[in-house]
Chains A and B, each alone.
Chain A
Amino acid sequence: MAAAAVMVSSAGSLLAMLQEPAPELKLHALASLNSLVHAFWHEISTSVSSIESLYEDEEFVQRQLAALVASKVFFYLGELNDALSYALGAGPLFDVSDDSDYAQTLLAKALDEYVAIQSRATGEEKTMDPRLEAIVERMLDKCILDGKYQQAMGMSVECRRLDKLEGAISRCDNLHGALSYCINLSHQYVSHREYRLEILRCLVKIYQTLPNPDYLSICQCLMFLGDPVSVASILDKLISGSNDDALLAYQTAFDLAENENQAFLLNVRNHLDALSSHTSARVDPDSGPAVPSNQTNAATEPSGDVQMRDDINMPNGSATTVDPNAATHADRMTKIKGILSGETSIQLTLQFLYSHNRSDLQILKTIKQAVEMRNSVCHSATICSNAIMHAGTTVDTFLRENLEWLGRATNWAKFSATAGLGVIHRGHLQQGRALMAPYLPQNGAGGSGSPYSEGGALYALGLIHANHGEGIKDFLRESLRNATSEVVQHGACLGLGLAALGTSDEEICEDIKNILYTDSAVASEAAGIGMGLLMVGTASEKATEMLAYAHDTQHEKIIRGLSLGIALTVYGREEEADTLIEQMTRDQDPILRYGGMYALALAYRGTANNKAIHQLLHFAVSDVSDDVRRTAVLALGFVLYNEPEQTPRIVSLLSESYNPHVRYGAALAVGISCAGTGLSEAISLLEPLTSDVVDFVRQGALIAMAMVMIQTNESYDSRVGAFRRQLEKIILDKHEDTMSKMGAILASGILDAGGRNVTIKLKSRSKHDRLTAVVGLAVFTQFWYWYPLTYFISLAFSPTALIGLNSDLKVPKFEFLSNAKPSLFDYPKPVTQQTATASVKVPAAILSTYAKSKSRAKKEAESKAKEKAEESSIASTSMQVDGAAAEKKAPEPEPTFQILTNPARVVPAQEKFIKFLEDSRYKPVKAAPSGFVLLQDLKPTEAEELTLTDAPSTAATTNAPASSASEPAAMAVDDEPQPPRLSSTLIRGYDDPRIGMYGLGCL
């Protein structure tokens, strides 16, 4: 009898039984219904009210069963709220381990509900249904029991149940994996700052109980929590350990330094001092007696800028007399402090940028020729573009070659031109002051130079020492006090703000405040910004003071400076800043509302916080002031930069607005959030805007496009080439508006920034926000009102390099693999100028020889490169290196991989293709595809081969005073192949194949 197939065809009989007066029958009916509800919910739904009344009947024995049946019926009807409330009524009968759709859906619903209640602000009423809590807890326990730890962790993070989180992590078999998963979780999905900190605290607690903790991650967490003491003790412990531990300590320090939190790093260093003075009674000649307190310590630091810890590489003389253990400890301590101060990384970066500089002077020459002399806007834009192009490379060839042309900059243009030097020499900490010496205000002499170049020089010093101003800030303070001209004060305020970024140094603050209260438009504006820079992210009381003064003063410039400054103070404070933001955005004064937009942008930077986005969109469409609307849209870029893919979608409507200010804002928002990504959607959105009818929209779009496309080449996205040609066309077009021309000039600079070796990155590799970069971009966007602020963009540049270091913090010879076609991430080709060469036929004789020698040289270089590639390909595949292999000449045109040599340029898009070779002598401590990587030497006995030893500093010092003289400097030893003396026509010709052929024919 195939009775298995026998099924009731209707639930009618059971429903009828439910109406029976006898409770036993009702019970029986309910139990049967419960098992049949999935098939007959539609029939039951008509009489669900009778089931509900059973549940409400206090007399009925199995009320919970009734609730369960009702809940199921409501689930099938799609009434999830009712279903949940009955499921709660069902109590233990509701089975969390059930796999059915019903159970899964309701569990999700219950979780949502629970999370919603849990995440209510503390002020609000929290009425947690204990039954709901019980269900969630049961679910969590079950996940942990089943070994679904990630699920459990995710849920407990979301439910704000740190106790459960701890339980889940501690039971997990892969503890490290679990912890790093949690850290990711807390950064990506927890939008509430306080709570995120709580999670991190909990994680650190767990980390510390481990026998073999992951110090890299702990220190990242601790930095986020702002706990310098623990970081210092961890580092101290590590450097007292073995060699490998020390490497780990260095790596940790590099990772910390990368996040650019100056105040925090300073504290760590101070605590390290305190610790080392405890452990060994050693006197560190470098930082004097250790003082535990942060405030006083900052003042006792040695004040000379050249004196700043350049003893990183030399062993400490006085410490060698003590026993060897203490000596190594001392040596390591100096190294770690060097790293923490950022100097080691800055120095290495500087060397990298200098040696790998591939900027194309031809572009600048074209711009210079195209720009009219009398047009000072374009003139200073060109200077600025040069500065950006060479940011951090210390290559100032272009300026030296065009001193006379440079001299046309007067007044504020001169200020900018001088400040530009600061961008070029950015990070040149040791020599910075010497380089700028000719322009700096002379003590006592007073009338040595123009106040514009003096102010510019002070600003330049700030840019050089941005966020690392330990050594320079006293000098800047002094200059500020002595300054009488408001232009000098302006420069000094900006410089001080930059140098002491985020340190909230009381004394500096007082000095700047004095300038602020002079109520002179120019100086006080800079003072406002300077104060903001000084107190970035401190949410200090000063903000209210500044706000009060902004209400008092009559000068719009000062109000603007102050409102930006106030916005800077709430950087990253998220909800904490809400009161201040509310105050500013409700203000009568549009300039303060404008500041409010920046405050929103900075407080919620990179959080993609829905509330902030909502508010900004509201202001973008409803404010009466164009400035506020523009800024509101622009601010979206800051809020969304952690999810660059979202931005084009969100602002796409706004980019078609009738209001040009909104369009401009939309362009920059995309530029900011998608900076350095080369994101296709972003480019598509910006493309039409680059040919907008309004000139300033074109300007914004060009700049934004350059920010998006930075470090992408034509073979990666063909539109890059088109954009480069468009820029050239705009610059060469006589009838183009000045505004868009300026945009195009700046865009050319940004596109090739930092010798084509930097990108704009707002997030560090460990997914933290780069404070300096965000602040830099925020102030940069202010160039709308004040061109000199354009230079702040240099703060956002981050070198795209993988620099491997050995335990001496030297750069050893080390090779690794990039698993992609070399052309995909190559430098763009040097510019050739077909249009010009077509008309100007250069004497063929010179050209042909040149072209020939050139091509010969090229061929040689190519064959060498090929040999090299082959050799290494064999090395990587068959694990044997023998010279004979090089004789094989494979005709393949484009290899699919590339061997890179330490230190190498690794653009962000390339990072996923980076592989470390297995059989290499060095083993990376942390397998990071870019940034600073400490390498463990597996053959420590063998001699090491070092690269990157040519520091630009020596060359620069000798030539620094010469910068005022007109001789071409010896500094121009970059690896650009053409000699600097060549006339531009020749350079134009050498790469053009047609001319080459012609020349050869003549021979």
Chain B
Amino acid sequence: MDPKMTEVTQMFARFKAAYARNDLDACVTLLSQLKVHLTKFPSLPPSFQQTPNAVEELKLARDIYEHAVVLSVKLEDQDAFERDFCQLKPYYMDTCGIIPPSAEEYPILGLNLLRLLVQNRIAEFHTELELLPVKALEHPCIKHAVELEQSFMEGAYNRVLSARQAVPHETYVYFMDLLAKTVRDEIAGCSEKGYDSLSVSDAKQMLMFSSDQDLHEYITEEHPEWEITNGAVFFQKAKESQPCKEIPSLQLINQTLSYARELERIV
């Protein structure tokens, strides 16, 4: 076996060991070393050179990146998740003819969908969805994300929140927690549009806070423009009415006159 390959495999084994004993710091350092090593493999995307052990290399790389994605979830690092997922994606999209599909493919894709939902990037969510084959929609992980999105769009937030109990994969829990906050933001946005004011107790119920204290914290953090007076929350809407733009009439008149003058000169 290729010495480089051996080295990477060994290192990956160490990574897996560290992961198993939950030594996350060691994992991160090992991972970044692994990634650097991976750049030396010519058969990996984007070059896809046909080397004798291309299949092994590709499989190994895919495995590493899948682990990277899972690790980033564990680290609760959304940026790293996005990075790793993007780098993993070519192994799913472009290598179908070379290596067999991975077992982890759909859970990870579903995870990504969930992330997009959490980050409220609905457009990208749908783009990703369109890229999947029809049969993938049957997979519980994908189905879960799709159903969540539908509930989310319908405004059936209670269904979204209750879905947390029925996650198809243990890694999903982290994002489901985040989803609750996204739902809250969505509700807050709607209420702002829908009401002039809301009593504190109604607002508390609506935004699913258990105490007034939580509500206050939320408001000061996320919506400092809201006011709480006399036991009611006032949503300010004054700022939206901006004065309509003035027409630069004088300038236009001057321009027209000078055009007319020029025209007269030429003809």
Which A residues form the contact surface with B (CB < 8 A)? Answer: 1-3, 6-17, 19-22, 24-25, 28, 32, 35-36, 621-622, 653, 656-658
Contact = CB atoms under 8 A, between A and B. Distances in A.
Select the residue from B39, B93, B94 with max chain A CB neighbours within 10 A: B39
Q: What is the predominant secondary structure among interface residues of chain B facing chain A?
A: helix
B133 interface: no
Nearest to B93: A9
Nearest to B39: A28
B86 A3 contact: no
Contacts of B4: none
B231 interface: no
Contacts of A3: 48, 50, 97-98
A1 B51 CA distance: 12
B47 interface: yes
B267 A20 contact: no
A621 B266 contact: yes
Interface residues of B, number: 27
Contact of B93 (A10, A28, A32, A657): A10
Interface in B126-175: none
13 contacts: A1-B97, A1-B98, A3-B48, A7-B46, A9-B90, A13-B86, A13-B88, A13-B89, A16-B84, A22-B32, A22-B36, A25-B35, A32-B47
B107 interface: no
Given A8-B45, A36-B46, 6 more contacts: A6-B48, A10-B93, A19-B83, A20-B35, A24-B36, A621-B265
A334 B78 CA distance: 98
A14 B35 CA distance: 13
Given A1-B50, A22-B32, A621-B266, A16 B98 contact: no
B201 interface: no
B134 to A, nearest CB: 18
B93 A6 contact: no
B82 interface: yes
The 5 tightest CB contacts between A and B, nearest first, are: A16-B86, A28-B39, A8-B46, A621-B265, A16-B83
Given A20-B83, A657-B267, A10 B36 contact: no
Contact of B86 (A15, A35, A656): A15
Nearest to A40: B46
Contacts of A20: 32, 35, 83
Interface in B57-107: 79, 82-90, 93-95, 97-98
Interface in B16-39: 32, 35-36, 39
Nearest to B65: A13
Contacts of A11: 46
Nearest to B79: A19
Nearest to B54: A3
Contacts of A25: 35-36, 39
Contacts of B83: 16-17, 19-20
A13 B32 contact: no
Nearest to A618: B265
A46 to B, nearest CB: 12
Contact of B94 (A8, A22, A622, A657): A8
Contact of A658 (B48, B98, B267): B267
A7 B47 contact: no
Contacts of A35: 46
Contacts of B267: 653, 656-658
B266 A653 contact: yes
Interface in B210-267: 265-267
Contact of A9 (B84, B94, B265): B94
A11 B89 CA distance: 10
Nearest to B131: A9
B89 A10 contact: yes
A36 B47 CA distance: 10
Contacts of B87: 13, 16-17
Contacts of A24: 36, 39
A12 B89 contact: yes
A656 B266 CA distance: 9
Contacts of B47: 32
Contacts of A15: 86
A156 B94 CA distance: 49
A959 B97 CA distance: 107
A142 to B, nearest CB: 29
A919 B57 CA distance: 80
B39 A6 contact: no
B100 to A, nearest CB: 14
A35 B47 CA distance: 9
Contacts of B84: 16
A13 B36 contact: no
Contacts of B265: 621-622
B35 A6 contact: no
A6 B47 CA distance: 9
- Give the interface centre of A11, A13, A32, A658 by most chain B CB atoms within 10 Å: A13
Contact of B98 (A6, A8, A21): A6
Contacts of A36: 46
Contacts of B32: 20-22
Contacts of A6: 48, 94-95, 97-98
Contacts of A9: 90, 93-94
B62 to A, nearest CB: 12
Contacts of A657: 266-267
Contacts of B266: 621, 653, 657
Nearest to B87: A13
Contacts of A653: 266-267
A35 B265 CA distance: 56
A959 B84 CA distance: 109
Contact of A13 (B79, B90, B97): B90
Nearest to A18: B83
Nearest to B82: A16
A604 to B, nearest CB: 22
Contacts of A658: 267
A24 B40 CA distance: 10
B85 to A, nearest CB: 8
A621 B88 CA distance: 69
A14 B94 CA distance: 14
A32 B45 CA distance: 9
Contacts of A12: 86, 89
A656 B98 CA distance: 74
Contacts of B48: 3, 6-8
A25 B80 CA distance: 14
A622 B48 CA distance: 69
Nearest to A32: B46
B6 to A, nearest CB: 20
A25 B82 CA distance: 16
Contacts of A17: 83, 86-87
Contacts of A656: 267
Contacts of B98: 1, 3, 6
Contacts of A621: 265-266
A293 to B, nearest CB: 54
Nearest to B86: A16
B119 to A, nearest CB: 15
A298 B63 CA distance: 99
A770 B216 CA distance: 93
A28 B94 CA distance: 19
B56 to A, nearest CB: 15
A993 B32 CA distance: 106
B109 to A, nearest CB: 14
Contacts of B86: 12-13, 15-17
Contacts of B39: 24-25, 28
